[in-house]
């Protein structure tokens, strides 16, 4: 289990891909600020919620074509397809100003 981390996703492909990369954390679909406060969050959340987290890491897949992106959004893509399309982790820190 990745300590002090949570995965926020409804997409089984993202969860499988993260697990394949050695990232194992509780999976949440709906969260409130307390769920992410001071944690490393894997997934996509609104900026206002991301500001509570220590950092946010999203899965970026630059090489997905339109039909594959639509399949990805439905969760109907394999981790091998994600890797072939250049899936990578990109981490951000979001702070209010």
**What is residue 80's predicted lDDT score, i.e. its pLDDT?**
94
Rounded to whole angstroms, the Cα distance separating 83 from 80 reads 5
Listed residue (6, 9, 18) closest to 52, CA to CA: 6
List pLDDT tens digits, range 69-93.
Answer: 899 988 899 999 999 999 999 999 9
List pLDDT tens digits, range 23-82.
Answer: 999 999 889 999 999 999 999 999 999 999 999 999 999 999 999 989 998 889 999 999
**What is residue 34's predicted lDDT score, i.e. its pLDDT?**
96
Q: What is the pTM of this model?
A: 0.91
**What is residue 73's predicted lDDT score, i.e. its pLDDT?**
87
């Amino acid at each position: 289990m990745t300590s002090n981390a949570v995965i926020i996703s409804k997409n089984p492909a993202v969860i499988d891909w993260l697990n394949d990369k050695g990232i194992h954390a509780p999976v949440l679909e709906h969260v409130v600020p307390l769920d992410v406060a001071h944690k490393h969050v894997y997934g996509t959340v609104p900026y206002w919620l991301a500001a509570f987290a220590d950092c946010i890491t999203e899965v970026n897949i630059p090489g997905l074509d339109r039909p594959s992106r639509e399949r990805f959004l439905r969760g109907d893509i394999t981790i091998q397809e994600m890797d072939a399309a250049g899936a990578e982790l990109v981490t951000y820190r979001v702070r209010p100003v």
